[in-house]
A and B are shown apart, each in its own frame.
Chain A
Amino acid sequence: MTPTTEQSNAYRPDALVVGGGIAGMQSALDLADQGLKVMLVERGPSIGGHMIALAKVFPTLDCASCITAPKMSASSHHDNIKILVNTEVQGIQTLNGVHHVKLLKKATYVNFDKCIGCRLCEYACDAEYPDPLEEGLGAKRAIGVAFTNAIPQKAVLDPELCATCGTCARVCPTDAIEFDQQAETVIVQTDAVVVASGFALNSLNVKPQYNAARSKNIISALTMERLLAPHGPYGRVLRPSDGKIPSSVAFVQCAGSRDASIGVSYCSRVCCMYAIKQAMLLSGALPIADITIYYMDIRAFGKGYEQFYQNAKAMGVNFVRGKVARIDPVDDGDLSLHVETTEDPENFLQEHRHDLVVLAQGMLPDWDMSGTTPVQRSSDGFVATPMLTSPTLTTAQGIFVAGVAAGPKDIVDTIAEAGAAAMQVSQYLYQKRSANVSESQTAVLVG
């Protein structure tokens, strides 16, 4: 049982933002800069979202963490922003225009008021596990700060991985470890909510014909981001099965979206561009490697994207038009791709051998809020945005949406939409409050 605290008289933000990724941070910052009090709720141990884990971003090849980290620290240092990490939104109830947001504060077994982020507990811990942030390639300890530039710099203990040896409690200089900490449910009242819950990716195994379960060398695009990141698990690009430097890398596009046979018929929108970006980065990291992108059609729709695609072609990245139908593991950990190249009139059916394959997984909504909140989903599972002219409005009054929670989009569009959502919120709050003021004034006059 988790005790529920009604915090009606406690901290009451003007707006609550669900999700601490780039969309949530941008919305929170844009609201806070207007003098509104914002609560930023993040499920994981750090804000930053998927973006902080990326190597570089398209089409400018800017360093992702160099763009994300300032937003993270701006959010955390902002007087008007209160950040709750390790906290899940369990439901929203709207009563008389006020949203009662039910939050589950998960037990971290570390007192955040005492923790100074010195990481002595992490260095002392013996329980090592594959790091989810490194897509399982690096190691993580049962207690520790999520990653080097995580915000907040607070250690979190994972009870699933902890061997309860007590070493961390012994080395902690501030006695911050609390093994008896309990999860807590709190209800926060607010006038507006921004849903920026982002995305999850569908499984590498969603297409059994790709045999991802049978080879470590069929990796996700996020794994490739980590391999390419300067602070990644190996510090260089090696393939996971045997540490070989790959000489032939394949990108299989539409491996989890635009495919009705797996139930995801929409386009994930970012895969073409990040595949091109990764291909370019690989050309730098592995100058003699062959890099091939298997695609159905390249969707280079944004500003500067087409030129980016043409640059990749000019750099010698191979583009093969055809959906890969099957991937078979062959000897030496290599992979054989079966594809019909629809552009070659003499030789349609081809088989290509690569030593590393990156699957472009589909973007799925990360949070199903349809049963627990007044927000409705559209048929694809993302938050429904019924007004074409106001794409950040949901079906519920006072609840707004930003970023991939409303549908797949890239970072540029996400940031633009997060700003638009913040604008909608401040407009909504202004109208609501001026209406309330005039109502009370009317009441005074009539009374």
Chain B
Amino acid sequence: MAHAIDVALMDKIKKHGPGGTLDVSACFNCGNCTAVCPLAEDSSGFPRRVIRMAQVGMEKELLADEDIWRCYACGECTKTCPREADPMQFMAAARSYAISRYDATGLSGLMYRSVTVNILVFLLLSAFFVLLLLSHKGGLEMGSNGALFSGVGSTRLFQFIPGEWVHGIGVALFIVIGASLAFGVFSMIYKVMSRKSPSGERPAFPLSALIPSIVTAVTDALNHRRFRNCDATGQPSGEPLHLRAWFVHASIMWGFIAMLIATTVDYLFKPIGSPVPPWYSMRLLGLVGGLVCLYGLTIAISRRISGKETPYDKSSFSDWFFLLLLTGTVLTGLITEIVVYLPHPTLFGYVTFLTHIVLAMDILILMPLTKFAHVVYRTLALALHEWALAPAPEKAMAAASNA
């Protein structure tokens, strides 16, 4: 079978590594990474096989391999790699490279590879949203009329920026993102499903297993089943639960989901801008979600700042961008929550709210282009992985009849 070889593949992937320090060319394929990996559970041979693909330039096979998404970066391979080739960072770089190749616009690749482009896009986008939102001239209500509760004047956020505008822009963004992401998703599905094994065989991908595969993948993502297996690294000195990578990730993810639910339900069932007390269910959910998310983000950031140890010693800019953008959004959101209950409206409150809206919009529009995209790609990859493992219907029936 003929293979199209991209001789520059390794160099391209290296550009997605942290600060160009990735030296995975040093790998001599000893297989230590695969054998030490707590997640390598079948005969797939990752991460070594994926590194090998990159070394010999098998780009098509690399992009068709959902295995890169089964790594949760516990760092055990990097800690024990005899060549200090840093397989963990390679896997992260390969994921980022794959996203940039699934994306049709090429913009995500630019953002991943260049810190300058990343910051520039972020600043331009933010400036655009600020101008767009301020063009409404809503005015700042600083007087004491319009009691929120207890008869004292308060911040009227949605007079400053009308809810319809926020909503309108949001819908527009969803369409843009949806189109962009749909292309990337289709690209990934196509590449994985047309993959052939070395002996020329294709997984069956039986239709009957489609829904169960998706359900399993989504459930695994939500309850971190695979991620939690990273605990089983065979090391006697385990970290306390609240510092473990999967727990921190779960905090960020579930906090984010809670905030997403709160915002959506708020929008659907409550008139925009109508005042509610803090114990209003959806506001409370958002508040708790925000705090939980903030906890995870704080741990993730502080470990990266102080961390000299794998996996926290070398983070790529896209990691930092993801964490900082999310932290900015959550922090401004939480401050806004406080601001609306202040007796007097303040300019600070309005600016914070504006920042929050702008950052949230940045997250939305940049979602398919940045690390946020892993939400979709990783879940999809795991679903495809489950699906590829499912036996063909006739074989399953044969097995059942034998049993």
- Listed in ascending order, the chain A residues whose CB lies under 8 Å from chain B are 207-209, 254, 258-261, 265, 296, 321-326, 328, 338-342, 345-349
Q: A261-B80, A322-B35, A325-B36 are in contact. Are A342 and B29 (CB under 8 A)?
A: yes
Tell whether A323 pairs with B235 under 8 Å between CB atoms, given A342-B31, A345-B198, A349-B42. Answer: no
How close is B1's CB to chain A, nearest CB, in angstroms?
Answer: 14
Per-residue A-contact encoding for B29-52, CB less than 8 Å = 1, 0 else? 111111110001111110011000
> What is the minimal beta-carbon distance from A364 to any residue of chain B, in angstroms?
16
By a CB distance below 8 angstroms, the chain B residues around A323 are: 30-32, 35, 82
Interface residues on chain B, size class: 20 to 34
Task: For A264, give the chain B residue with the smallest CB separation.
Answer: B82
Contact between chains at A340 and B234 (CB < 8 Å): no
B283, CB-defined interface residue at 8 Å: no
B198: chain A residues within 8 A (beta carbon): 345
Residue pair A348, B44 in contact (C-beta under 8 Å): yes
Chain B residue with Cβ nearest A321: B31
Given A296-B30, A348-B31, 13 extra CB contacts under 8 A:
A260-B83, A261-B81, A325-B34, A326-B36, A326-B234, A339-B35, A340-B33, A340-B35, A342-B48, A348-B44, A348-B45, A349-B34, A349-B35
Determine the chain B residues whose CB is within 8 A of the CB of A347 once the complex forms.
43
**With A322-B30, A328-B234, A349-B35 as contacts: A340 and B45 at CB distance below 8 Å:** yes
Complex alpha-carbon distance, A348 and B32, angstroms: 11
| A208, A340, A345, A347 interface centre (most CB from chain B within 10 Å) | A340
For B29, B34, B48, B84, the residue with the greatest tally of chain A CB atoms inside 10 Å of its CB is B34
Determine how close the nearest CB of chain B comes to the CB of A304; give it in whole angstroms.
26
Chain B interface, >50% SS class = loop
Asked if B80 and A209 make an inter-chain contact with CB atoms under 8 angstroms apart, the answer reads yes
- For the complex formed, measure the closest distance between the CB of B73 and the CB atoms of chain A, giving whole angstroms: 17
Assess whether A296 is in contact with B28, with CB atoms less than 8 Å apart.
Answer: yes
Can you identify 18 A-B contacts, CB atoms within 8 angstroms? A207-B80, A208-B235, A254-B30, A254-B82, A261-B79, A261-B81, A321-B31, A322-B30, A322-B31, A323-B31, A325-B31, A326-B234, A328-B234, A340-B31, A340-B40, A348-B43, A349-B41, A349-B42
CB distance from A299 to the nearest CB of B (A): 13
Q: Which 10 pairs, one residue from A and one from B, show the smallest C-beta to C-beta distance?
A: A340-B31, A348-B45, A325-B35, A325-B36, A323-B30, A340-B34, A259-B82, A322-B31, A323-B32, A260-B84
* Cβ proximity bits B80-102 to A, threshold 8 Å, 1 near / 0 not: 11111000000000000000000
Residue ID in chain A nearest B199 by CB atoms: A345
Q: Given that A323-B32, A338-B36, A349-B34 are contacting pairs, would A209 and B43 also be in contact in the complex, using a CB cutoff of 8 Å?
A: no
Q: Return chain A residues, CB-CB under 8 Å to B36.
A: 209, 325-326, 338
Q: Using Cβ atoms and an 8 Å threshold, which residues of chain B touch A260?
A: 81-84
Interface residues of B (CB under 8 A from A): 28-36, 40-45, 48-49, 79-84, 198, 234-235
CA gap between A277 and B152 in the complex, in Å: 91
Q: Which residues of B contact A208 (CB under 8 A)?
A: 235
A349 to B44, CA, bound (A): 8
Contacts of A342 in B (CB 8 A): 29-31, 45, 48
Q: How far is the CA of A324 from the CA of B45 in the complex (A)?
A: 14
- Cα separation A346 to B84 with both chains bound (whole Å): 27
A260 to B32, CA, bound (A): 13
Contacts of A296 in B (CB 8 A): 28, 30, 82
What distance in Å separates the Cβ of B58 from its nearest Cβ neighbour in chain A?
14
> Within 8 Å CB of B81, what residues of A?
260-261
A348 to B47, CA, bound (A): 11
Whole-angstrom CA separation of A68 from B36 in the bound complex:
42
List residues of chain B with CB within 8 A of the CB of A338.
Answer: 35-36
Q: How far is the CB of A280 from chain B (nearest CB, A)?
A: 24
Can you name the residue of chain B whose Cβ is closest to the Cβ of A346? B43
Q: Are A326 and B35 in touch, CB under 8 angstroms?
A: yes
**Which among B31, B44, B82 is the interface contact of A339 at CB below 8 angstroms?**
B31
Q: Which residues of A contact B80 (CB under 8 A)?
A: 207, 209, 261, 325
Residues of B within 8 A of A341 (CB): 31
Tell me how far the C-beta of B240 lies from the nearest C-beta in chain A, rounded to whole angstroms. Answer: 20
Instruction: Kindly list chain A residues whose C-beta atoms are within 8 Å of the C-beta of B234.
Output: 209, 326, 328
Whether A340 and B83, one on each chain, are in contact in the complex, defined by CB atoms closer than 8 angstroms, is: no
Report B-chain residues with C-beta under 8 Å of the C-beta of A321.
31
Measured in the bound complex, the distance between the Cα atoms of B80 and A340 in whole Å is: 14
B30 contacts A261, CB within 8 Å?
Answer: no
Distance (whole angstroms) from the CB of A271 to the closest CB of chain B: 14
